[in-house]
Amino acid sequence: MPASGDNPPARERPRALLVDFGGVLTTNVFAAFREFCEREGLNPETVKRTFRERPEALALLRRLEVGELDEDEFARAFGPLIGVHDTAGLVDRLFAGLRPDEAMIAAVRSARSQGVRTGLISNSWGRGRYDRELLPQLFDAIVISGEVGLHKPQPEIYELAAERAGVPCSACVFVDDLRENCAGAEAVGMTAILHRGADTTVPELERLFGVPLTSPR
């Protein structure tokens, strides 16, 4: 037992970086939803407010995430809830404003090149949301909700990602742009970072892992 006044032992460095996709490796999802609403002539907050205030909308999303609905089935049910009756390609239209976040992609790539295990944990809006050539370049472990029948913040999806990455949950850092998904990661013993932008997330990852993740300027 350490003597009174001794500092506690330093926590072991994490060994795996697990990240969300939309809103972490891409630009902000809710900004894309606002762009969609403006193009459709809706109140800019319509999509966000519908998920917050209409339980049936969130239930539809959960069914899409775990693969119980395909994109067209989701669109036909969700469109009328937001006042959109032309539902052809609706999911593609919702995400049309999304762009890659090159700084976050570069940070994940850099972490992996320096021996950090990397993984993706993504709640899927269908198969068309991912660059299937890029993912294997970035990740040792890939867990997409629609392919495993689980969704964040269920504990099993985090545990599966840690297992595929080959490390215990306690050795993982998880990055997500939604507070409830970060809470789900923390509940299984992971360290979580609530992502608001690469300018704050990358320095925090560098602090936790003890490696540089940005190129010198």
> 50-91, pLDDT tens digit by residue?
999 999 999 999 999 999 999 999 999 999 999 999 999 999
CB 157 within 8 A of CB 143: yes
Strand partners, 194: 176
Q: What 3-state DSSP class applies to 117?
A: strand
Residue 115: the pLDDT is 97
- The rounded percent of the chain whose pLDDT value lies above 70 is 94
pTM metric for this prediction = 0.92
* Mean of pLDDT values over 123-148: 92
Q: CA-to-CA distance for 73 and 168, rounded, in angstroms?
A: 37
Residue 215: the pLDDT is 61
